[in-house]
Amino acid sequence: MYLKFFNLRELPFRLTPDPKFLHFAEPQRVVLTQILEGVVFRKGFVLVTGPVGTGKTTLVHTALQFLHRRLYVKNSLLSAFLVNPTLTRDELLESLIQEFELKCAGTSKPARLAALHQAFLARFRAGGTSVVFIDEAHLLSSEILEELRLLNNVDTYKEKLLQIVLVGQPELLNVLDRTELAALRQRVAARCKLRPLTPAECRVYIAERLRAAGLANGPFNSEALEEIHRISDGIPRLINLICDRTMIMACEQRCQQITPEIVESAAEFLGVRASDYVMEAQPKRPRSVVAG
């Protein structure tokens, strides 16, 4: 690869959701704050939406790190992270039991609910809380969303015992607009959205990832950075794909300076065209992050 050629410690543009490489642009800061406040202040339901590739899963992993390492210590946080929400009611409860690493006396629904409720109450009494993050939440059925609402109803007279963070593509908003989910909509205490990066944010994003990987001065010239944003439309996942392929090609050509021509060649190799994403992302993208 190009690690030695560019004097990097590690690959800067992996597609894995590593919190080390999280870029705190305005939308990321706002959304992370909303998630943390929703959990700490026991708001119940928090809703996070954003187009494909804008970094939702990375934010979830970052939020979990903040919660476990800084806000809740000595195992005072009970957390679960579901990445495949296409489940039945029984499978949902079974998955939560496994994710929370709980012992359950039986496999019936009453037994599983009892085990979950006891765990939530015990964590609350210990000064902590319980939280479930559900990725790809736009794929949730109305049946499972209703089950989550009922599970969230378990509380004391003062506090919510379980916090639920739904993370998904913008279609999640349409899912929640269904008539049968009116009761759930009323329980969403915070809504926040991610958007693609602006040209300025894109430059900083690339520079920060390179620095995190050990390179202080990036190889991309100004025109190359503009081309990366134009083709990717500011979507972080596409930025990563293009930058990684561009650095591979630059290494193969022994070029220390990356130009727009190399970026265009990388995009052509990947089959990425600006028009494929601009038309899809722009109508759905707000000009600023909306939260609250």
In single-letter form, the type of residue at position 279 comes to M
Alpha helices in the chain (DSSP H): 3-6, 26-40, 56-66, 89-99, 109-125, 142-152, 171-176, 182-185, 199-212, 222-232, 236-252, 260-270, 274-281
Round to whole Å and give the CA distance between 179 and 195. 27
Question: Over 90: is that where the pLDDT of 7 sits?
Answer: yes
Q: Span 96-103, mean pLDDT?
A: 96
Structure tokens at 154: 């378990």
Query: In this predicted model, what pLDDT tens digit does every residue of 207-252 receive, in sequence order?
Result: 999 999 999 889 999 999 999 999 999 999 999 999 999 999 999 9
Cα 58 versus chain centre, distance: 4
Q: In the prediction, which pLDDT does 279 show?
A: 37
Pick from 210, 197, 242: nearest CA to 54? 197
Q: In the prediction, which pLDDT does 186 show?
A: 95
Pick from 245, 250, 206: nearest CA to 225? 206
Q: In the prediction, which pLDDT does 204 show?
A: 95
Query: In this predicted model, what pLDDT tens digit does every residue of 103-124 receive, in sequence order?
Result: 998 999 999 999 999 999 999 9
- Give the model's confidence band at 274: pLDDT under 50 very low, under 70 low, under 90 confident, else very high: low
Q: Span 128-147, mean pLDDT?
A: 97
Q: Which of 15-29, 117-131, 167-181 has the lowest mean pLDDT?
A: 15-29
Pick from 222, 217, 234: nearest CA to 260? 222
What pTM was computed for the model?
Answer: 0.89
Helices 199-212/222-232 angle, 10° precision: 110
Query: In this predicted model, what pLDDT tens digit does every residue of 167-177 receive, in sequence order?
Result: 999 999 999 99
Q: In the prediction, which pLDDT does 278 show?
A: 42
Q: Span 125-131, mean pLDDT?
A: 94
Q: In the prediction, which pLDDT does 283 show?
A: 38
SS3 292: coil
Write out the H or E segment, with its range, that includes residue 129: strand 129-134
Question: Over 90: is that where the pLDDT of 289 sits?
Answer: no
Write out the H or E segment, with its range, that includes residue 256: none
Question: Over 90: is that where the pLDDT of 275 sits?
Answer: no
Q: In the prediction, which pLDDT does 164 show?
A: 98
Question: Over 80: is that where the pLDDT of 16 sits?
Answer: yes
SS3 10: coil
Q: Which residues contact 124 (CB under 8 A, 6 or more apart)?
A: 130, 156, 159, 161
Pick from 283, 21, 40, 23: nearest CA to 160? 40
Question: Over 90: is that where the pLDDT of 272 sits?
Answer: no
- What is the number of other CB atoms lying within 10 angstroms of the CB of residue 139? 17
Q: In the prediction, which pLDDT does 154 show?
A: 79
Q: In the prediction, which pLDDT does 206 show?
A: 97
Higher pLDDT, 180 or 217: 180
Helices 260-270/236-252 angle, 10° precision: 110
Round to whole Å and give the CA distance between 162 and 117. 9
Question: Over 90: is that where the pLDDT of 280 sits?
Answer: no
Pick from 286, 221, 247: nearest CA to 50? 286
Query: In this predicted model, what pLDDT tens digit does every residue of 31-60 receive, in sequence order?
Result: 999 999 999 999 999 999 999 999 999 999
List of domains in the chain: 3-10+198-284 (1.10.8.60), 26-193 (3.40.50.300)
- Give the model's confidence band at 1: pLDDT under 50 very low, under 70 low, under 90 confident, else very high: confident
